[in-house]
C-alpha cells in the first residue's frame, strides 16, 4: 500500500506503474472518495465537538437549576445527533470504499526493472553452470519417477484430482532433503526458522498484499480461513501492527511449509509431471529492514545469493532473470527469478523468485520501527524462495540421471539421504 498523500501528489507515477503492470487502478475514483471522506470527517468532527461542548453546558445549567437554557440546548443536541448519525453512516460507507480502492493501487516499479509485458521480456542477468550432455537417451522426470517407483501421479489424480501426486521412498527423501538442506543453510546464516500456520484469516493475506487480486488462486475454507500459497503471508503477519526493533540489523525469518494453489487460469499448461501442482512445499526467506533503498538492494542480493548457493550445492545449472514490469506482481517493486535447467523442457524453468517491496507490505500490515531519532517509520520487506519442491525434483532427477538408470545424489544432499551417493536404477 502506498501513502495516500504521496499518491495524491504523484498521480502520474501511480498511473504509469498500473499501466506497466497491467493492473486496473481507478485512481480518479480513489481521489474523489478520499476527498469526500476528508470533508465528511471534518464535518463529523465539528458536530461531535459542538455536541460535547453543549453537553458540558447542559450539565452546568442543570447544576445552576437553569432549566430553560438546559432544555433549549438539549433540543439542539438532539438535532445534532440526528445529523451526526446520518453523516457517520455516510462516512462509514466512504471509508469502506476508500479501503477497497486503496487495495487496487500497485506498488511502484524500480528504475532497474525491465520494461515488458510477459516473461518473454525478462532479461537474463547471470548464467551459472554447464548444461549436461548425455551419451544416452535421457528420460524426463516422470519417466524416471515411474521407472524408480518414486513418483506416482496416476494414483495422486485418482485420490485428489488433477495436478496431484504421491512421492514414494527416495522420492520423499529427496523432497525432504532439499528442504532440510535449505533450512540448515539459512539457520547458519542467522535466520530464525519457523513452522507457520497454513490456515490464515483473510486479513493476513490482505496485509501481505496477496489479496484481493490473488483470491482466484487461493483455496477458501470455512470460518473466514484460507490455505496459504506461501509462508510469506504468515511470516510478514507475525509482526503485524507491531513496532519491531531493528537496532541490531534486519530481521531474518524463514519457514518450511506446505503450500496450496488453485493454479486458476493454467488449464493446459504444464499438465504433465510436477511442474505445476496444487500442493507443494517451500522454504521461504523474509527480510524486515529499515526503509533504506540501498540496504533493501543489499538484502535482495543476499537472499538471492542464498538461493543460488543452494542450487550450487545441488550441482544444478541455472540463470537469473530480471523480471519485467508486466510479469511482476502488483505488490513487487523489484523482482529477480532464478530458472534452473530442465532437460526435458530443453529450457530453463522458474524455480525461485526474489522480491523487494519497499514499505508496500509494511503499510498494509502496520509493521513499523523507530529510527535513530525515535520517529516511527514503516519497515521495508523482502522475500525469496530458498527452495520449492517437488518442482526442484525435476532438474534434480533429469540433470543427474546416469546411463545405468541411477540418479546421482549431490554430496550436499547425502547426509539427508541415508548416505546414498545414488538412487539405484531398476
Residue positions annotated with a catalytic role: 261, 276, 350, 353, 391
Q: Is the dihedral of CA 383, 389, 392, 396 positive or negative?
A: positive
Distance CA 392, CA 386 (A): 11
Measured N-to-C along each axis, helices 11-21 and 27-63 cross at an angle, to the nearest 10 degrees, of 130
C-alpha distances in Å from residue 241, one per residue of 225, 324, 332, 367: 20, 32, 21, 5
Distance CA 140, CA 343 (A): 7
- Spatial separation of the C-alpha atoms in residues 186 and 402, rounded to whole Å: 31
The contacts of residue 274 (CB under 8 Å, 6+ apart) are 141, 142, 151, 153, 165, 390, 391, 393, 394
DSSP state of 324: P
Terminal-residue alpha carbon distance, the chain: 54
Task: Retrieve residue 273's grid coordinates.
Answer: 509431471
Q: Compute the Cα dihedral for 200, 203, 206, 207 and give only its sign.
A: negative
Inter-axis angle of helices 67-102 and 27-63, nearest 10: 160
What's the CA gap between 192 and 63, in Å, rounded?
A: 63
Which residues, in sequence order, are CB contacts of 167 under 8 Å at separation 6+?
A: 150, 151, 174, 175, 390
Distance CA 50, CA 58 (A): 12
b/e burial code for range 249-279 (CB count within 10 A of at least 16 → b)? ebbbbbbbbebbbbeeeeeeeeeebbbebbb
Pairing mode of beta strands 251-260, 192-194: parallel
Contact between 314 and 415 (Cβ < 8 Å): no
CB neighbourhood size of 421 (10 A): 12
Amino acid at each position: 500500500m502506498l501513502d495516500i498523500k504521496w499518491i495524491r501528489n504523484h498521480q502520474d507515477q501511480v498511473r504509469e506503474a498500473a499501466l506497466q503492470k497491467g493492473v486496473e487502478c481507478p485512481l480518479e475514483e480513489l481521489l474523489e472518495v478520499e476527498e469526500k471522506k476528508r470533508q465528511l470527517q471534518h464535518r463529523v468532527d465539528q458536530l461531535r465537538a459542538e455536541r460535547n461542548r453543549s453537553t458540558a453546558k447542559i450539565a452546568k445549567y442543570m447544576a445552576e437549576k437553569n432549566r430553560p437554557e438546559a432544555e433549549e440546548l438539549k433540543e439542539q443536541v438532539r438535532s445534532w445527533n440526528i445529523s451526526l448519525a446520518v453523516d457517520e453512516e455516510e462516512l462509514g460507507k466512504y471509508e469502506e470504499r476508500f479501503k477497497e480502492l486503496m487495495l487496487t493501487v500497485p506498488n511502484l516499479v524500480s528504475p532497474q526493472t525491465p520494461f515488458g509485458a510477459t516473461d518473454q521480456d525478462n532479461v537474463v542477468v547471470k548464467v551459472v553452470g554447464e548444461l549436461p550432455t548425455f551419451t544416452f537417451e535421457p528420460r524426463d522426470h516422470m519417466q524416471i519417477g515411474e521407472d524408480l517407483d518414486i513418483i506416482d501421479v496416476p494414483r495422486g489424480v485418482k485420490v485428489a484430482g488433477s495436478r496431484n501426486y504421491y512421492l514414494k521412498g527416495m522420492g520423499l527423501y529427496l523432497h525432504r532433503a532439499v528442504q532440510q538442506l535449505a533450512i540448515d543453510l539459512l539457520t547458519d546464516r542467522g535466520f530464525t526458522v519457523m513452522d507457520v500456520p497454513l490456515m490464515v484469516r483473510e486479513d493476513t493475506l490482505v496485509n501481505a498484499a496477496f489479496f484481493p487480486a490473488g483470491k482466484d488462486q487461493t483455496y477458501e475454507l470455512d470460518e473466514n480461513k484460507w490455505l496459504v500459497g506461501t509462508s510469506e503471508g504468515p511470516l510478514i503477519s507475525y509482526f503485524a501492527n507491531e513496532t519491531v526493533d531493528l537496532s541490531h540489523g534486519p530481521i531474518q525469518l524463514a519457514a518450511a511449509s506446505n503450500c496450496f494453489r488453485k493454479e486458476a487460469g493454467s488449464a493446459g499448461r504444464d499438465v504433465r509431471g510436477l511442474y505445476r501442482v496444487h500442493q507443494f512445499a517451500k522454504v521461504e526467506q523474509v527480510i524486515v529492514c529499515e526503509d533504506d533503498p540501498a540496504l533493501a538492494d543489499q538484502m535482495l542480493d543476499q537472499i538471492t545469493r542464498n538461493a543460488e548457493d543452494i542450487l550450487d550445492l545441488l550441482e544444478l545449472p541455472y540463470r537469473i532473470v530480471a523480471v519485467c514490469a508486466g510479469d511482476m506482481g502488483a505488490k513487487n517493486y523489484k523482482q529477480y527469478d532464478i530458472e534452473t535447467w530442465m532437460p526435458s523442457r530443453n529450457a530453463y524453468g522458474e524455480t525461485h523468485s526474489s522480491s523487494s517491496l519497499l514499505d508496500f507490505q509494511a503499510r498494509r500490515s502496520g509493521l513499523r520501527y523507530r529510527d535513530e531519532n525515535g520517529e516511527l517509520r514503516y519497515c521495508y520487506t523482502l522475500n525469496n524462495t530458498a527452495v520449492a519442491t517437488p518442482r526442484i525434483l525435476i532438474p534434480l532427477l533429469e540433470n543427474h540421471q546416469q546411463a545405468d538408470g541411477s540418479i546421482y545424489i549431490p554430496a550436499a544432499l547425502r547426509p539427508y539421504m541415508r548416505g546414498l551417493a545414488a538412487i539405484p536404477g531398476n
